[in-house]
Amino acid sequence: MQIIGSPNPQHFKSAMAHIFREMVLRGDISTGSTVLDIGCGCGRMAIPFSRFLETGKYYGIDVWEEGIEWCRNNIKRDGVEFEFILRESKNNYYFSEVDFSSQNDYHLGEIERNSVDFAFAISLFTHLRSFDCYNYFSELGRVLASGGCAYVTAFIIDEYFFEYVRRTGMHSAVRQIEPGCYYAYSGQDFFAGYTMNKWKEIVDSSGLKIVSYDVGKWAEKPGALNHQDTFALVSSAYRNEKKPSVDRIPNY
C-alpha cells in the first residue's frame, strides 16, 4: 500500500472507493464487462472489481513483480477471469534512476483488438516519459472497443501549475526536458507532466479523443475534485451501444 502512495489502510480504502465509484459512473461498466487496468500495482482497483464483476474479464498490468504476484494469489472470483501480467521494463525508472538513453517496449500484446469495454490508468502517465506514453496510448486505441471508455490521470502543466510553484515553491525542480514534456526527480518520485497541447498530441495519435477533462488538486487548481488531472477518452469512432448500470455500484 505504501509503495503505491497510501500511508495507511484508511487512505487506501478511501481512495479505492472514491476512484471506483467515479469510474463505474463515467464508464457505464456492466457486471460482464472486460476491464483493463494499466499499472494495477497491488490491486487497489482490482479488489472492488472482484466484487462488482459477475462475468467478463479483468486484465491487470504492471512492472512491479511483487504487486503482480500478490494479485495473482489473492484476487479471484468464480465466473470472472482475472489475468495479471508482469510487463518487463528495460528502464524501470519508477524503481530506479532514469536512463534517457534506454527505451522501453510497453505493449498490450496479450489483449485482442477492440475487446476492452473499459480501461483505466491511475497515476501511471504521471511517472512515464512521452515515448512510453505514446506506446501505451497506441495500444490502448487498438484494444478499446467501439462504445468503450478509458479513464486516465495525468499532470497537466498549465498556468495554475506555474502559479502554484511561484506561490509555494513546490515542484520547483520540474523542468521542460523535451518539447511539452516536464520531468523531475528519480525513482518512485519520478515526475512526468505534459502541456495540454502535448497531451492532446499523444492522445490524438492513438485514435482516441478526449470527451471530458477535470483539473486536479495536486497544484491547487480551482474547482478540482480529484488529486490528479483526470480525462475520459473514447475511440474517435465512438458509438454508444450500452445501457446504464449505475444501480450496480456497491457500497464500501
Query: What is the tally of structural domains in the chain?
Result: 1
CA–CA dist 252, 155 (Å, integer)? 28
Q: What is the pLDDT of residue 100?
A: 67
Q: Which three cell numbers stand for residue 84?
A: 495479471
Burial of 199 (0-12, 13-18, 19+ CB in 10 A): buried
Helix (H) or strand (E) holding 11: helix 9-27
User: Does 148 fall in a domain?
Assistant: yes
In a domain, 7, yes or no: no
Summarize pLDDT for 72-121 with one digit per residue, the tens: 999 999 999 999 999 887 656 666 676 666 677 788 889 999 999 999 99
- Residue of 236 and 184 predicted with greater confidence: 184
Q: Are 71 and 43 in contact (CB under 8 A)?
A: yes
Inside any domain, residue 33: yes
| Residue 202 covered by a domain | yes
With respect to residue 130, please indicate whether it lies within any of the assigned structural domains. yes
Question: Quick one: what percent of the chain has pLDDT higher than 70?
Answer: 88
Give the structural domain span for 46: 22-94+112-154+198-234
Confirm whether pTM is higher than 0.85: yes
**CB-CB contact of 193 with 157 (8 Å):** yes
> What confidence tens digit (pLDDT) does each residue in 149-205 have?
999 999 999 999 999 999 999 999 999 999 999 999 987 789 999 999 999 999 999
Q: Does any domain span residue 46?
A: yes
CATH classification of the domain holding 214: 3.40.50.150
The answer to whether residue 77 sits within a structural domain is yes
Residue 144 lies in a domain: yes
Q: If we measure between CA atoms, which residue out of 54, 52, 41 comes closest to residue 17?
A: 52
> Within the chain, what is the greatest distance between any pair of CA atoms?
53
